[in-house]
Structure 1
């Protein structure tokens, strides 16, 4: 893609850094007078097949961290020679104040990076690294770009932004930032607090994406039930559980806390029992010797309803807890103004609809035996404390919010909320960090229309003939109430959304209609291939910042600039600051843009675009942020000491437990009633659902609702497999897909049960086509007994690679997903019916020349 060949390659930079070591080695060989067995002095070597590896005393060691939202952010230690990172290691106990080699305690565990983070050097120096600004010269999606200067690229973007705002109004630009590749307290990509949202909002042209793909159904449930998404314990609380139910959760792949696996191991050693409810027998189940309960996908709420029936009918509920803390669990806990409305217990017992939600009723839907449903219900209700960890995956489905709301009802009726070793998760966010170093004020999240993230293509393709409920429109004010966004451009920052949202073929159709697509990334991704402008963004190794834990964990990791930015890379903050100055100059009469540059980045002048100046400004922002940490969180360590040690680990007198103060001290929950709302007066009070962001009715209590597609659906006769798309262990969504080391370890493949494989005449390693009426993709098949018959597993995040006929050769399941709106915003990533057949079409696991990942080759040989 780069048409200039006058710059040194990355390989040359690495080779140059090691040249001195080669010369020293050659001198050593000559001085030693080594001779061959025949006694002849060997000739001077011209080349070596093996390069002597630099030792630690020859390298500079710099503490830093990983950057992605895999479920945590761990520590990385960069070992560099000159300005080249030679290798990466991780926390060994030495880096916090008072630390020492090997320190690893229950209060201060090591923040060890996984293999994804440890492989980051391959991503940093990958062939797909974006080094220069690029403008598209071929058709959109062709991948044809030319190298241009920063001035050319930014002038092009600023002019197009100004034109789109003038011609189409304040909703013309869609913000598709996410916390993928740019996430720190200063250089932040995020839907809510991110740099892009602040930039487009201050510019006065922004359509927001309000739904989070990972856990929107879960977020809705937690806010409706508890009034907050901070419903999680810190991960050290798992060590005190007597029973842990991993519902759709595989912590070996998706951590949900940097040290969760460590604390769960402590629980196992202390006698905790483990249960896995999942269509697939996972590595986590094997490690913890869990009781595996295979379940039909998307039927989790029905099984939970069957458990609730057993608990109620056998009087195993914690009635004292219900009476004191819960709203709407039964008749006597209903709010007076809704005394005649349906309560949860009456629904479960069938008193309102004539259908008791018995274990037998649930078994017919979910495929789990009635005996096992009753057994699990009794085990959960009688084991104290017990943690029902209702993970996000089952909620990434049609009506996924009902699964999470049903889980919350089980947690409440058994009294396991606010108790050490229990659980109210849900979303599971726990300790609250000081997460933003740049100004976070009224300009931080301005938007002029907001839609459900995966409905943007539907909005573009059908504008203006779009009903607000079809896109989940959320108006900002009365002036724009009900006005469908007229989207003409997209900004991708820190995200590969085009590869990750539902129904990619529909996205491809829609993106051809746009007038501006900007991709800001360190790597040329599948999304980038569909952009008009590629802006090279520095990685977290090439800028100064502080890393936050993600999801769980209570620590900060200093993230210094380890190396200078490669090529012409700039930080997101530099790019937006420079664009702000250019946009102000293009619209001198626009009062809203007066002093846009200084207001966007108040600590900097326009010289901030120069790297040597930006380093000083970034330091000033971070010093001021650390002062907030000291003032608000009681940290006494100085900024200089934090930089010296590299990590600050908080310690607490007792594990942090969500809602402990509500249960032990009587503080109100953050709901309207001050209680856990199993019955929602807010939902019950909505009369016109089309005027809400949800668009369609949502029941006031948790209920089982038949999904769009399932194995119980008539459509299963045509497409007999229910496909689920879990997170893989070798990627964080699509990040790391272009690292050959990881692909060779874990190939992209579709997993099916041995009985299904026998029926189809397939064996492990055969190439198959997975297809439905929305798309087709090609992958190898893996045959096992570790998945329920009729279920197929295809991990999300593979970089799409379409052939001329629109078939994805890389195995991206989002060519098969449905983009229909689930009312509360849940993405239907796991609501997919497909069929599978043998094919002669080629599978391409990556953008390199390896036809098949080595793991598949080796596995086939055996």
Structure 2
């Protein structure tokens, strides 16, 4: 019997050809149990998926990425109606005078990386926060209920007033950061951000003064140069004859989105590359760099050994030192400190009897003395040479000494203020006009200020806390010395609960708080531990202008590409509305709403667009155009979407000081290798540092290292660099990106062989602070005794408090250096194979394909 599925005349019998067989394969397989029924072939009339729209069917809108990945570049949103269906990037046509394919050294394309291009997956994530939520379970249990904005904001406002009245003006901790909200209007950083201004005006704010990424580095740059704007623009790299990537992997952390473009130009012109790092990175492979593996946290010792070679072999630039440097040697010491130890005295062992020779350094850092001498000679004799002292080695105990030592070596060779040279620590270059909202006397007002990673210690031990334990910033009033009584936290633009050191200590501390508020676009580990979740519109859903990161000279218009999803609002809307509610509850903050957002009325919460437009137009016309020589109108800027500055020559930090004789921004007007400021401090406990910092750069043994007796129990030094596939913890939950990587522990092949570990094995990594579980990746590209676990994985705790997702900050120490450097890379651990469960994320099925294909089956 034959069946006609079209309901017409039965089909004539026929011998099906190969093409016909393929057409009916799916249906035939499904009917195999019906006794071999023959199905009439039929052309498919539908797709299993919707085809991509073509460009002429879509609206194209120029915008940008929004995160601290090391750049901040163009995204081009292609939308159908109010839905973004595709993202592309700069192709040269969008700037004034641009055209498809334009890409020059003066106006390079601002191409987004895979993180930015994957943003649709974050924008439309199932974990997107769409409505206000309030906790109904235990803190950290992740149980929330949806509430109205009125209910959520009333609760927050009432708790804020209660905390301020009961515990005083330090009761609320500001833990904002620039993770996801950095623009000229919607800003969430610690210094200029919306939350800091909001809490300061409310009169209840404890500030977190140290920046996790680079606090030791910013200290060094301010002490040495008087500014953190110590970086050249990226195009200067093209003129280098030697680039030393010291702890720097620009393939992963750019420090300017076009860094690779200009470094490739340098390579083509014959530039030599060196990598000083515990692991052989993709950047080293790309540039065929000489890899010098070094024990973690010993960088200052190796730099001191290089300085000894340079002094001993008379390779230093004495003319440069005499003219521009303070405290390099006896002849350049300040008058008030003629008898104090100079940098050269320390290096040559004049006072302490220990010359910092290459052999001395080898015993500490593990780098052969011959290699130290070779690198020192190469750097001192190659002109111009760029010693790029990156941030990662400074994220360690006494990390500020590494950065200061690098600055001394840069100065003694005369590579500062020279095209192709480098003075970098921080690396901030071109200065943008960065603030569109009112920046008044309340900006950054605080009533207590502590080191960011000491908040848990402060909460757990209050009131029995010494000011030096938490890095209490001194005040010039009667409250100086009072330890903050922290009872609440606001997280804005940050996932700090997941990202600060010693997470288990944070977990203990958060149980003692009365209010935890998280403002974010998606649920995060920090959000899981909050009391109130406030859904924040992404940068696609509000009007702003994007700033370049620490390098780059451009502005990118960020229009409201789509309407905010769900009931999400911008941070500015949320804080404005809270301000109006607080003024009704607290008579000490009269007219709070209008003072906080003077261009707006109470309607701003529901209709922000005209106000945002007014702020941004005033910023462009009142700051950008008059201060930066821009002739393009605001309307024209919006039409093009991007403004790229062009300069007659590459921007080089401190060129004017070296060429024109302008003073450095230090007290002496010189590069201060010897710091009179540090030398003049009598009571360190009365400073924000808490503990002594030497007046000259010195090698100081870190809390934990491979030279420590602690290696008996914890024989591996853990470092936690930035991954390529996340921006800190942002994008961890993006399926597209997780197909390309696995959170894994990188371990040297010899160490793995001794422990019986193969790639793909599950291992546990532990010390006295915590334990995490993660797959292993065995390689020769890592120094023996060192293991690597990328930061930013979203924690996932089992019932015993073991992190199943591989977050290294369950293992890191919350004890900061005196200058505030975070000790992320100062951690000793042990490793072994384990049967404990590993989960790569909250979705157990979201195993990375990279992990699957790496394993042998």
Residue 528 of structure 1: aligned partner: 527
| Structure 2 residue 606 is matched with structure 1 residue 607 | no
Deviation digits for residues 260-310 of structure 1, max 9, x if unmatched? Answer: 110000000011000000000000000000000000000000000000000
User: Which of the residues 750, 763, 769 maps onto 1:768?
Assistant: 763
The 3-state SS of whatever aligns with 2:504 is helix
**What is the alpha-carbon distance in structure 1 between the residues aligned to residue 527 and residue 586 of structure 2?**
29
Residue 754 of structure 1: aligned partner: 749
Residue 402 of structure 1: aligned partner: 401
The 3-state SS of whatever aligns with 1:776 is strand
Residue 562 of structure 1: aligned partner: 561
Q: Is the 8 A contact 2:499 2:792 kept in 1?
A: yes
**What is the alpha-carbon distance in structure 2 between the residues aligned to residue 648 and residue 852 of structure 1?**
41
Residue 649 of structure 1: aligned partner: 644
Superposition RMSD in Å: 1.2
* Paired residues for 1:696-711 under 5 Å: 696-711=691-706
Residue 64 of structure 1: aligned partner: 63
**What is the alpha-carbon distance in structure 2 between the residues aligned to residue 781 and residue 172 of structure 1?**
43
Residue 96 of structure 1: aligned partner: 95
**What is the alpha-carbon distance in structure 2 between the residues aligned to residue 336 and residue 147 of structure 1?**
67
**What is the alpha-carbon distance in structure 2 between the residues aligned to residue 475 and residue 352 of structure 1?**
33
Q: Is the 8 A contact 1:123 1:739 kept in 2?
A: yes
Residue 139 of structure 1: aligned partner: 138
Residue 236 of structure 2: aligned partner: 237
Q: Is the 8 A contact 1:171 1:448 kept in 2?
A: yes
| Structure 2 residue 804 is matched with structure 1 residue 805 | no
**What is the alpha-carbon distance in structure 1 between the residues aligned to residue 804 and residue 126 of structure 2?**
20
Deviation at 1:48, TM superposition (A): 3.9
Residue 680 of structure 1: aligned partner: 675
**What is the alpha-carbon distance in structure 2 between the residues aligned to residue 428 and residue 780 of structure 1?**
35
Q: Is the 8 A contact 2:23 2:43 kept in 1?
A: no
| Structure 2 residue 594 is matched with structure 1 residue 595 | no
**What is the alpha-carbon distance in structure 2 between the residues aligned to residue 287 and residue 264 of structure 1?**
10
Against the structure 1 CA distance between its residues 141 and 413, is the aligned structure 2 distance closer, same or farther, given a 3 Å change threshold? Answer: same
Residue 22 of structure 1: aligned partner: none
**What is the alpha-carbon distance in structure 2 between the residues aligned to residue 402 and residue 103 of structure 1?**
43
The 3-state SS of whatever aligns with 1:690 is helix
Corresponding pairs, count: 822
Structure 2 alignment gaps of length 5 or more: 1-21, 25-37
**What is the alpha-carbon distance in structure 2 between the residues aligned to residue 203 and residue 770 of structure 1?**
44
Q: Is the 8 A contact 2:738 2:846 kept in 1?
A: no
Deviation at 1:476, TM superposition (A): 3.2
Deviation at 1:43, TM superposition (A): 8.3
The 3-state SS of whatever aligns with 1:745 is coil
Deviation at 1:861, TM superposition (A): 3.4
Deviation at 1:58, TM superposition (A): 1.3
| Structure 2 residue 315 is matched with structure 1 residue 316 | yes
* Paired residues for 1:483-632 under 5 Å: 483-588=482-587, 590=588, 593-610=589-606, 613-627=607-621, 628-632=623-627
Residue 197 of structure 1: aligned partner: 196
Deviation at 1:518, TM superposition (A): 0.2
- Higher mean alpha-carbon deviation, 842-851 vs 389-398, is at 842-851
Deviation at 1:39, TM superposition (A): 12
**What is the alpha-carbon distance in structure 1 between the residues aligned to residue 392 and residue 559 of structure 2?**
35
**What is the alpha-carbon distance in structure 2 between the residues aligned to residue 144 and residue 587 of structure 1?**
31
**What is the alpha-carbon distance in structure 1 between the residues aligned to residue 43 and residue 367 of structure 2?**
73
Deviation at 1:504, TM superposition (A): 0.1
Q: Is the 8 A contact 2:130 2:567 kept in 1?
A: yes
**What is the alpha-carbon distance in structure 1 between the residues aligned to residue 115 and residue 432 of structure 2?**
24
Deviation at 1:343, TM superposition (A): 0.3
Deviation digits for residues 511-552 of structure 1, max 9, x if unmatched? Answer: 000000000000100000000000000000000000000110
**What is the alpha-carbon distance in structure 2 between the residues aligned to residue 52 and residue 415 of structure 1?**
59
Q: Is the 8 A contact 1:306 1:373 kept in 2?
A: yes
Q: Is the 8 A contact 2:240 2:384 kept in 1?
A: yes
| Structure 2 residue 831 is matched with structure 1 residue 831 | no
Q: Is the 8 A contact 1:843 1:852 kept in 2?
A: no
Structure 1 alignment gaps of length 5 or more: 1-34
Deviation digits for residues 338-359 of structure 1, max 9, x if unmatched? Answer: 0000000011000010000000
Deviation digits for residues 214-264 of structure 1, max 9, x if unmatched? Answer: 000000000000000000001110000000000000000000011011000
Deviation digits for residues 716-753 of structure 1, max 9, x if unmatched? Answer: 11100000000000000000000011112011000000
* Paired residues for 1:471-490 under 5 Å: 471-490=470-489
**What is the alpha-carbon distance in structure 1 between the residues aligned to residue 475 and residue 856 of structure 2?**
59
